[in-house]
Structure 1
Amino acid sequence: MTTRWSRRGLLAAAASTGTAVALGVPAQSNAAPQSAVRAAEADEFTTLRAKWRTLILGEGFSPTAEPFKSRLAELGTTATQLRSAMAPASGSLWPDLVYADPEPDTDQESYGYSGNLNTSYNRLNTLAQAYCQQGTGLTGDATLKAAILTGLDHLHDEVYNAGQTRYGNWYSWQIGAPQALLDVCVLMYDSLSATQIANYVAAVDHFVPDSAVASYSGTSTGANRVDLCRVLALRGIVGASSAKVALARDALSPVFPYVTSGDGLYKDGSFVQHTTVPYTGSYGSVMLGGLGMLFALLTGSTWQITDANRQIVFDAVENAWAPFLYNGLVMDGVSGRAISRGVSATDAKQIQQNDHLRGHPILASIVLLGQSASATENARWRGLVKGWIQRDYYSPPMSDPSLGLTGLARLKGVVDDTTVTAIAEPTGHRLFTGMARATHRRPGWAASISMADRRITYYETGNGENLRGWHTGSGMLYWWGDTYANGQYSDAFWPTVDPYRLPGTTASRKVLADAAGGDWGASLPDVNWVGGATDGQRAAIGQYLKGLQSTLMAKKAWFCVDDSIVCLGAGIKCTDGTTVESTIENRNLGPTGGHSFTVDGTSYPATYPWSQTFTGADWAHIGGMGGYVFPGGATFNAVRDTRDGKWSDINKGGSTTVLNRKYLTLYVDHGTNPTNGGYAYLLMPGATAAQTQARAAATGWLTVLANTDDQQGVAVPSLGFTGVNFWFGGTVGDLVASDPCSVTISEKSDGTAVICVSDPMRMRTSLTLTWNRAVSAVLSKPAGVTSATTGSALRLTFGDMTGLAGASQKITVTLG
């Protein structure tokens, strides 16, 4: 009988035969001939190279149709310039990218040398894509091919080889350079000799050995682990090693499960990298994109990813990434040091970034990941992406010069798909206790709050990046409108804003050194009470703030409701010998800055510079932006100023071009060495001057129940909302708490109420909360509520809350 062998059957037979021989057991007589096994294996590697080629070049677009025609021509122009500038010499392939480090060490200079190696391979990748893509003017060009092969051999012979000791940044050697090298190997595979391939994969084996993924720790977690697996998988495919591809597949498994500390995805949707840094928008983007490509590459192959935990990644699209995407941008509060990467000093077009340009690749990655998800998930995600594309008026994704052809093609496929209906931005509140972040979305606007605690850093600096992000975790309150203000943080905000006056923050004016606190998220405040309670629509959030390298201490609270955010500050004290300020707003008004400004009905001209102190003010309004209401009146300062800055001020690799932007800043001056400072205001994004004035006149709309160092709380009777942060146990209004906690109550029109309670400190082994309100029945409660007594008051007793990670516990009752 003749046995017919499928490709997968041949590989399985080869594996079983090898096992049998190893155990000393005679192989079965019907085993596939080894020559057939090798042929089938080679055939599968050919298939996988073709799939990867498609993944990195894109598909489904016409090279003669826009926007692809222009983009391809531009790629050809860039490649022509790079080819002309290439000048192989000792220590460099391009004169401006010296990679030879005369004294290998780990200082900043050494990092630069290794970074230049990485960039050199990236340039070869650009040349290879111009050679392989249609419509570049260099497609199949023999001279270009020769240049690529020369460059590959030059870099191998000089620096990236099995005899070299790495220096500088590990990333360049283990991820950046080998990823680009292997991509070029796939694109130019038919032009490479067996010796060249052997040399290149030997170099990869040297710098990225199997031990790089032996332990899920250090630099081999989260997005870095996915990147390392990509290197191993491609090394296996280029070098025809089944073992390497299998290792890459298996080494992905530790990435999938939820984590409770350190790097990875959390059940609440948090994503952390570098142990302490919220990174959904940067490293998280890399991880999402890498997983999408590897899932697509290996689907249907012998090495298909079948780990059931991969569903966690699919769930994370809407649980972790979508909450931080708004009209095409990804919020800066989860992008770490990437916010300082505006324009590079050497390669502005390739490295230019902002929140929109960081968001667009995430949209493309979601489209790609959808190909490996269920049909229902894929359809919904395409609807979300279509909505984000349509609403990004500030930086239309289809015109994004930094979005690669593959990403552009994926998004164009969604735009042109008439079966896909755009999904609107959701409304609601999300609290990410795993990374001290919150998002609040309402019709017409969205906001985000960034905090820090003993688990989450004030900010991240490193590699000379984000040198002045010191106060981004000090309660920074970002917000965007649906058809306005979407460029607030995109338009040269970070190099020109006063870093001591970030909106929403309380900060000492004590002068801090660049990179103060240490690299890689090393600076952590010694505080536990950071978090809050939410029912998914409204929230009470609090931050016990201790300043970075400062004696500053403060209690900050935000109560997120239907059309506004109530902001309270109390117990503000400091002995730095400097002024302390709480910044209400710091609007980037662009190069012209013509927005109107009104306080209590009086308009003030848009002249620069200009400043004024307002005493007893009830409300303020910035034209085209929104309103600010001060319950009971407030004293604050308003400043219009023109600020100069350079990307190189906050990023050593940034452009030295001087930028100029106009700002309107509102802040409360607590004076020098305050002992008990405070503030109270409402932020009303998108409100008109008339709406702001009306809210200020409706003095009964908001009741500030407490604003002290012990408790902060508010009530909004018309909404049936009460929110209280108990920094210590005590009584606030009708609520009595035995210990620190956060509480929200929403009374409904149907006679029910929802009470949400959390332990932001994660330290309560027991808690008793009494609401002095008649309650007739408890309709639902979590298991952690050990008793619930109704009657003239509701008394709730909670058991051990230390393992809840600060999550809100929801109780629904019927009011008496």
Structure 2
Amino acid sequence: MPSPWSRRTFLAGSGAAAVAAGLSHASPAAAAPAATSDDAPTAAATTAEAADAFDTLRLRWRALTLGAGFDAAAEPYATKLATLGAAARTSLASMAPATGSLWPDQPLSSTASITGSYARLNEMAQAWAQPATGSTADAALIAAVVQGLDHLYGQVYNENTTPFLPNWWDWQIGSPRLLLDTVTVAYDALSAAQTASYLRAVDHFVPDSAVGSYSGTSTGANRVDLCRVIATRGVLGKSAAKLVLARDALSPVFPYVTTGDGLYADGSFVQHTYVAYTGSYGEVQIDGLARLFALLAGSTWAVTDPNRQIILDSVEKAYAPFLYNGLVMDAVSGRAISRGIATTDPTRIQGDDHRRGHPLLAHIALLAEGAGATERTRWQGLVKGWIQRDYYSPVLADAKLGIADLARLQAIADSAVTAVPEPVAHRLFPGMDRAVHRRADWAASISMASKRITYYETGNGENLRGWHTGSGMLSWWGSTYGNGQYSDAFWPTVDPYRLPGTTVSRKALADGAGGAWGAARPDATWVGGATDGVFAAVGQHLKGLSSTMTARKSWFCLDDTVVCLGAGITSTDGTAVETVVENRNLGATGTHGLAVNGTTQSAALGWSATLAGTTWARITGFGGYVFPGGGGATVKAVREARTGTWAAINTGGTTDALTRRYLTLWLDHGVNPTNASYAYLVMPGATAAATAARAAATGWLVTLANTAAQQGVSVPSLGFTGINFWSAGTVGGVTASIPACVMIRVSGTTATICVSEPPRSGASLDLTWNRPVSAVTAKDATVTVTGTGASLRLTIAPGTTGATHRATVTLA
């Protein structure tokens, strides 16, 4: 399995140097005279190159790595280049070749340290090759790079070494990627014999058989990484056979999958068989594919497989839905959420949702360069919009972005292309049990788990307390507020039993409970929903992790509201069961106000209360919460400061104590509840007046059912009806013959019926709507009309994907 530091630290900035470390330590001496990117050895070396196809590709790969066309004297490049040089000189000063190490703190008995040593050499090579680093063309620096490559070859990474544990990834991806990129940059400083030696080592650890079958560790993002290694080795070794192999071995990545790793037709991306991973492994996959498409374009080895279009389609189908104001949602980032590694030194922050999102923007920008004119303009408009809207963590100031990626993004930011605004849309991803609801001024995601998708992934000592992230976590962000909710040390400081939106037994869990690599999956199949692309009904049959707790949870996603219902909440754990309405991270000093039924509550830390008869609440600066039904709800609340460390949730994290303030609202179902229930509305960005008005409008929401058999609501003003049939039955004039999800939108004399069968039983579904219908004007091929007139009767063909089936009708 992948090492905890692999992509995160060593390769995340492989488009250029990963210069985040030491940013604050750049010395004035590191500054170089004003220069352009063409002043570095990158271009000077090109005059002596043989003009064959392999040299062309090598120089293209070098340009992809280092970037081109940027003004090295301008910001932010000047600071980044100076920082790169300073970091390289620090590595040069501490390099001490010895038996068993190249640097004293990187023992070669550790696979991660082998990759780490190559990472430092790569950084040094780039400082030599880039302009204005203070070490540009420094003969001593490049000599040390060559010495270091020879030392690692002689000591550990050669054709006679037997790979040792713990991590295959370092041998086949982490180390060879960095080695080959370093050879590309330092090519003219190496002898032919040296380059040949390094390539023999790569051939030893990454033989052709590594991509011989699409299985095991050679799938999805890992397969793309392996192809990247083989392709780069082919370029440097002038091997047409290797380039053919790398190109052709990409083809199994392209087609949609229905199980396991890869892209699904609904836009899901899964890695490690059971983990929703668009924002981490998916980022790696699109990165590698964008680079390989660009490398091979126009050459004899160009990627021409027609299924390549699936990858291009994934920009808007799979990635864009999870990008918001420059961040990529934690719901699809797996164990990467535990990699914040934030300390009191901001330059040591390794990643958060924004810093994971920014490279995705750069990959889309690179992919756009090789796309058709229409796609290119649209994608660049998306990227420009994300850049403009990321007020919390400005994209172009991200210290983790390399020069090449930054240059691409800066070019788009400065271009005349029109920024694309946020969409008003809903997307369901049944392939990975996720849903995303988008509005012009806010966005939300819902994370669920089933037999198909894990509650959470732990492994390599990472994400040790992510237990309940798949227990119905409802995350949301505003257009101009709340974008640091999960970025600002949320994961090491939040109460892991009180993630917003979840229903959880307070039963104590051990770190890594349930098993590693996605082993923790509930024996539940009814997880999914139905959508018309604007509104949605979503549901989860929740079974607690290592717990007897069960619940039925529903979300109805509307214009300004997410309606949340829970029923059948039962447990015999001997502990309390809670549904967390909200758990807002207020930052290190936040004192955001809380009003309940219009009365301001205490702002004192340590305040807690049981608030009976709550009909509405509002957190200043965030939004409102409504509790429908006679008499309101009994809501518990606490305002507290919580302290934690990244090391507590990730063994590779720092031990620096971090403290954040939280305002938490929850519903206490008691110890060992039986068939408990709840109902509340989340209104992102709502004012106090809007929240109070919604609470007073008792007829706005009609609860049709809220039991363990069915849950459903109607909102007459929106023409909306949503019903989750956990069991066959009749609710609100709608009858389903088997468990199903039904969403109906009525507008004038037209209605759209959206139906899915989340359990994927393989049985056909008979649906009756007790409403006069004169005609069916459109329908999916999977829908058969069996009757109109006094009522509408439809039969939905058996399915295995949980997809939504539609019919549009004219009402009589």
TM-score if structure 1 supplies the norm length?
0.92
Q: Which residue of 1 aligns with 2:430?
A: 433
- Offset of residue 42 of structure 1: 7.5
Q: Which residue of 2 aligns with 1:95?
A: 104
- Offset of residue 44 of structure 1: 1.3
- Distance in 1 between residues matched to 2:683 and 2:783, nearest whole Å: 36
Residue segments in structure 2 that go unaligned for 5+ positions in a row: 1-47
CA RMSD of aligned residues (A): 1.4
Letter in 2 for 1:313: I
Q: Which residue of 1 aligns with 2:720?
A: 721
Question: Residues 702, 301 of structure 1: CA spacing in aligned structure 2 closer, same or farther, 3 A cutoff?
Answer: same
Q: Which residue of 1 aligns with 2:180?
A: 182
SS at match of 1:116: helix
Q: Deviations over 1:448-504 (max 9, x none)?
A: 000001110110011111010000000000000000000000000000000000000
- Distance in 2 between residues matched to 1:783 and 1:383, nearest whole Å: 34
Does residue 813 of structure 1 match 2:803? no
- Offset of residue 787 of structure 1: 2.8
Does residue 262 of structure 1 match 2:260? yes
Q: Which residue of 1 aligns with 2:692?
A: 693
- The equivalent position to 2:776 in structure 1, one of 778, 782, 803, is 778
Letter in 2 for 1:354: D
Letter in 1 for 2:727: F
Q: Which residue of 2 aligns with 1:765?
A: 763
Q: Which residue of 1 aligns with 2:64?
A: 55
Question: Residues 96, 344 of structure 1: CA spacing in aligned structure 2 closer, same or farther, 3 A cutoff?
Answer: farther
What are the residue-to-residue correspondences of 1:245-644 with 2, within 5 Å? Answer: 245-343=243-341, 349=347, 352-418=350-416, 420-632=417-629, 633-644=632-643
- Distance in 1 between residues matched to 2:345 and 2:171, nearest whole Å: 21
- Distance in 2 between residues matched to 1:589 and 1:785, nearest whole Å: 48
Compare CA radii of gyration and give the structure with the larger one: 1
Q: Do the aligned partners of 2:344 and 2:656 also contact (CA within 8 Å) in 1?
A: no
Letter in 2 for 1:215: S
Give the % identical residues: 65
Q: Deviations over 1:430-456 (max 9, x none)?
A: 000000000001121000000001110
SS at match of 2:495: coil
Q: Do the aligned partners of 1:221 and 1:255 also contact (CA within 8 Å) in 2?
A: yes
Q: Which residue of 1 aligns with 2:75?
A: 66
SS at match of 2:738: coil
Q: Which residue of 1 aligns with 2:88?
A: 79
- Distance in 1 between residues matched to 2:780 and 2:341, nearest whole Å: 50
- Offset of residue 41 of structure 1: 9.6
Q: Do the aligned partners of 2:611 and 2:636 also contact (CA within 8 Å) in 1?
A: yes
- Distance in 1 between residues matched to 2:289 and 2:50, nearest whole Å: 24
Q: Do the aligned partners of 2:727 and 2:738 also contact (CA within 8 Å) in 1?
A: yes
- The equivalent position to 1:144 in structure 2, one of 138, 141, 144, is 141
- Distance in 2 between residues matched to 1:658 and 1:114, nearest whole Å: 29
- Distance in 1 between residues matched to 2:113 and 2:51, nearest whole Å: 35
Q: Do the aligned partners of 2:343 and 2:654 also contact (CA within 8 Å) in 1?
A: yes
Question: Residues 346, 121 of structure 1: CA spacing in aligned structure 2 closer, same or farther, 3 A cutoff?
Answer: farther
Question: Residues 125, 348 of structure 1: CA spacing in aligned structure 2 closer, same or farther, 3 A cutoff?
Answer: farther
Letter in 1 for 2:681: L
Does residue 802 of structure 1 match 2:811? no
Q: Do the aligned partners of 2:783 and 2:806 also contact (CA within 8 Å) in 1?
A: no
- Offset of residue 40 of structure 1: 12
Q: Deviations over 1:5-54 (max 9, x none)?
A: xxxxxxxxxxxxxxxxxxxxxxxxxxxxxxxxxx9997111111100110
Q: Do the aligned partners of 1:298 and 1:305 also contact (CA within 8 Å) in 2?
A: yes
Q: Which residue of 1 aligns with 2:657?
A: 658
Q: Do the aligned partners of 1:611 and 1:639 also contact (CA within 8 Å) in 2?
A: yes
Letter in 2 for 1:767: L
Question: Residues 190, 351 of structure 1: CA spacing in aligned structure 2 closer, same or farther, 3 A cutoff?
Answer: farther
- Offset of residue 349 of structure 1: 3.8
Q: Do the aligned partners of 1:778 and 1:788 also contact (CA within 8 Å) in 2?
A: no
- Distance in 2 between residues matched to 1:556 and 1:515, nearest whole Å: 25
- Offset of residue 797 of structure 1: 2.1
Q: Deviations over 1:524-574 (max 9, x none)?
A: 111110001111111110000011111111000000011100000000111
What are the residue-to-residue correspondences of 1:132-281 with 2, within 5 Å? Answer: 132-167=129-164, 168-281=166-279
- Offset of residue 798 of structure 1: 2.4
Q: Deviations over 1:668-711 (max 9, x none)?
A: 11111111111100000000111100000000000111000000
- Offset of residue 231 of structure 1: 0.2
- Offset of residue 300 of structure 1: 1.2
Letter in 1 for 2:129: C
Question: Residues 452, 692 of structure 1: CA spacing in aligned structure 2 closer, same or farther, 3 A cutoff?
Answer: same
SS at match of 2:310: helix
Letter in 1 for 2:160: G
- Distance in 1 between residues matched to 2:354 and 2:722, nearest whole Å: 34
- Distance in 1 between residues matched to 2:348 and 2:269, nearest whole Å: 26
Q: Which residue of 1 aligns with 2:35?
A: none
Q: Which residue of 1 aligns with 2:36?
A: none
What are the residue-to-residue correspondences of 1:669-748 with 2, within 5 Å? Answer: 669-748=668-747
Q: Which residue of 1 aligns with 2:114?
A: 117
SS at match of 1:175: helix
- Offset of residue 348 of structure 1: 7.4
Question: Residues 155, 348 of structure 1: CA spacing in aligned structure 2 closer, same or farther, 3 A cutoff?
Answer: farther
Q: Deviations over 1:700-752 (max 9, x none)?
A: 00011100000000000000100000000111111111111000000003x10
- Distance in 1 between residues matched to 2:347 and 2:223, nearest whole Å: 28
Question: Residues 344, 665 of structure 1: CA spacing in aligned structure 2 closer, same or farther, 3 A cutoff?
Answer: closer
Using CA pairs below 8 Å that are at least 6 residues apart, which structure has the higher relative contact order? 2
Q: Do the aligned partners of 1:345 and 1:653 also contact (CA within 8 Å) in 2?
A: no
Q: Do the aligned partners of 1:346 and 1:655 also contact (CA within 8 Å) in 2?
A: no
Q: Which residue of 2 aligns with 1:791?
A: 789
- Distance in 2 between residues matched to 1:51 and 1:432, nearest whole Å: 37
- Offset of residue 755 of structure 1: 0.5
- Distance in 2 between residues matched to 1:398 and 1:48, nearest whole Å: 28
SS at match of 1:260: coil
Letter in 2 for 1:159: V
- Offset of residue 784 of structure 1: 2.1
Runs of 4 or more above 6 Å deviation: 39-42, 344-348
- Offset of residue 351 of structure 1: 5.8
SS at match of 1:671: strand
TM-score if structure 2 supplies the norm length?
0.93
Letter in 2 for 1:694: A
SS at match of 1:631: coil
Q: Do the aligned partners of 2:343 and 2:349 also contact (CA within 8 Å) in 1?
A: no
- Distance in 1 between residues matched to 2:686 and 2:346, nearest whole Å: 37
Q: Deviations over 1:578-634 (max 9, x none)?
A: 111110000000011210000001001211011001112100000000000000111
Q: Deviations over 1:145-166 (max 9, x none)?
A: 1110111011111111111111
Q: Do the aligned partners of 2:796 and 2:805 also contact (CA within 8 Å) in 1?
A: no
- Distance in 2 between residues matched to 1:671 and 1:82, nearest whole Å: 57
- Distance in 2 between residues matched to 1:783 and 1:662, nearest whole Å: 52
Letter in 2 for 1:717: P
Q: Which residue of 1 aligns with 2:38?
A: none
- Distance in 2 between residues matched to 1:144 and 1:254, nearest whole Å: 41
Letter in 1 for 2:235: I
Q: Do the aligned partners of 1:429 and 1:441 also contact (CA within 8 Å) in 2?
A: yes
Q: Which residue of 2 aligns with 1:21?
A: none
SS at match of 1:252: helix
How many residues were matched structurally? 762
- Distance in 2 between residues matched to 1:142 and 1:683, nearest whole Å: 61
